[in-house]
């Protein structure tokens, strides 16, 4: 298991700051455990409630992009 902190990931549906842990040797989105997620709002970073139904869908859309980002970052190390 590896801890991660992504200070900024740009997507078509927002800019996010995410931290958590993941099993880097398992290339599935299920290997990611998000501890904290924030979205860039008009006044700065806004924490998202991970249990909200609307945010849950947003996180599901973000997970494949986050996995790709983490795998590329892990390869560079």
pLDDT at 75: 79
pLDDT at 76: 65
Q: pLDDT in tens for each of the 77 residues of the chain? A: 899 999 999 999 999 999 999 998 888 999 999 999 999 999 999 999 998 998 999 999 999 999 999 999 887 65
pLDDT at 27: 83
Q: Which residues pair with 41 in a beta bridge?
A: 44
pLDDT at 73: 86
pLDDT at 77: 58
């Amino acid at each position: 298991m590896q801890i991660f902190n992504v200070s900024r990931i740009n997507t078509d549906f927002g800019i996010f700051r995410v931290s958590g842990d993941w099993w880097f040797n398992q290339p599935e989105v299920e290997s990611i455990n998000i501890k904290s997620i924030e979205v860039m709002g008009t006044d700065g970073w806004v924490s998202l409630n991970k249990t909200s139904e609307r945010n849950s869908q947003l996180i599901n859309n973000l997970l494949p992009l986050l996995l790709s980002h983490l795998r590329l970052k892990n390869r560079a190390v």
